[in-house]
Amino acid sequence: MTVHERSLSHYRRVVIKIGSALLVDRKSGLKSPWLDAICQDIADLKAKGVDVLVVSSGAIALGRTVLDLPSGALKLEESQAAAAVGQISLARAWSESLSHFSIVAGQILLTLGDTEERRRYLNARATINQLLKIGAVPIINENDTVATTEIRYGDNDRLAARVATMAGADLLILLSDIDGLYTAPPHLDANARFLEAVAEITPEIEAMAGGAASELSRGGMRTKIDAGKIATAAGCAMIIASGKTDNPIRAIVEGARHSWFAPSPAPVTARKTWIAGHLQAAGELHVDAGAQTALRAGKSLLPAGVRKVVGQFSRGDTVSVIGEQGREIARGLVSYDADEARRITGRKSGEIEAILGYAGRAAMIHRDDLVITGVTRKKVEGSMDNKDKANA
């Protein structure tokens, strides 16, 4: 049974991400009728017992219309000022529209550190869960008033995926101005083929991603695929669909074209979900074929299997593990600082004390702190009936 033949009510918790261009018109500002329509969709889901979270872009886009800023790229301080004005207008609009359906909205503004640092991640998750417990709809956005280029998500697709894993959602819906994934950008390639179901995000799937679609949106298909990798690894299915029509969630249920991404059949634990979802790895450990095989068998990464260390990182940081093909195969919390890791690279664990002068951990990354990011999945025929409701 496909999504066209059933409602979304069998999902327990759904995150809906909304792109700026859907909510804000460059000239006229907020698209109030569209907002009212999506709130009707949210009310319909909640009436069926589904928890709903919204990751809403639009603060900067709305703020720049209020401030009448010129078109084109904004300076950082201009973006932050636009966000400061737009966040107030956006939160008010969501609150008023949802109130028409007797739903309370709660605003949460996140920075990259709120999801990358474990303690802040757990605090944000507790706030989200409490809002859902009392029946409110969290309206989440990046805190663009304070985030700089170096410490920001830069798009709400990946933020939405992090929110989905944080909240233990089983479905992430990315609404944008494109109706799904094509084998090539359809506006550039007339032969581009639409993909209705994606069983696994492979390098070939990643290569299909295009660039940003509009001036108001910082995201593109590239960031949506990145979001898919984060969400599906945690056992969360993902849909990319067009939000151009009114009531876009209802349209999905009624058969509007969209791409569905299968969740991992073996989702990782909550702590490993947090590790896998890190956007900024502090460094890289390049490994040999033997280590790669051992990791896929559930073993720890030993110094003997590491061929090269890249970057500067501290013990406990998240690093990428790079396989022989030059692609990330895992992520984990490293047991050594970068300089120490370089000194013991390629050496046996029994030599660590003699090299470093103290008896460190035998593993460069212990298996309990490591997540495989390139899991091979069985072919999925687009069915929505897989048991993919693992709580991340």
Known binding-site residue numbers for substrate: 57, 144, 156
Task: Answer yes or no: are the C-beta atoms of 152 and 162 closer than 8 Å.
Answer: no
Distance CA 152, CA 333 (A): 21
Known binding-site positions for ATP: 17, 176-177
Tokens of 232: 């599906």
- CA atoms in the 13 A half-sphere facing the CB of 252: 28
Residue 52 · residue 116 · CB < 8 Å: no
First to last CA, the chain: 25
Q: Give the Cα separation of 153 and 147 in Å (integer).
A: 9
User: What are the binding residues?
Assistant: 17, 57, 144, 156, 176-177
Residue 239, number of CB atoms within 10 A of its CB: 22
Q: What are phi and psi of 363, to 5 degrees?
A: -100, 140
382 is written with which tokens? 């687009």
Which residue type, as a one-letter code, is found at position 330? A
For every residue of 64-119, DSSP letters joined together read HHHTTPPSSPPPHHHHHHHHHHHHHHHHHHHHHHHHTTT--EEEEEE-HHHHHSHH
Two tokens at 244?
Answer: 């151009």
Element (H, E) at 22: helix 20-23
Indicate the helix (H) or strand (E) that contains 333. strand 328-333
Measure the CA–CA gap between 358 and 349, rounded to whole angstroms.
12
Q: Is 135 left (phi over 0), alpha (psi -120 to 50) or beta?
A: left
DSSP letters along 264-318, please?
PSSPPPHHHHHHHT-SS-S-EEEE-HHHHHHHHTT--B-GGGEEEEES---TT-E
Q: How far apart are the C-alpha atoms of 121 and 110, rounded to whole Å?
A: 10
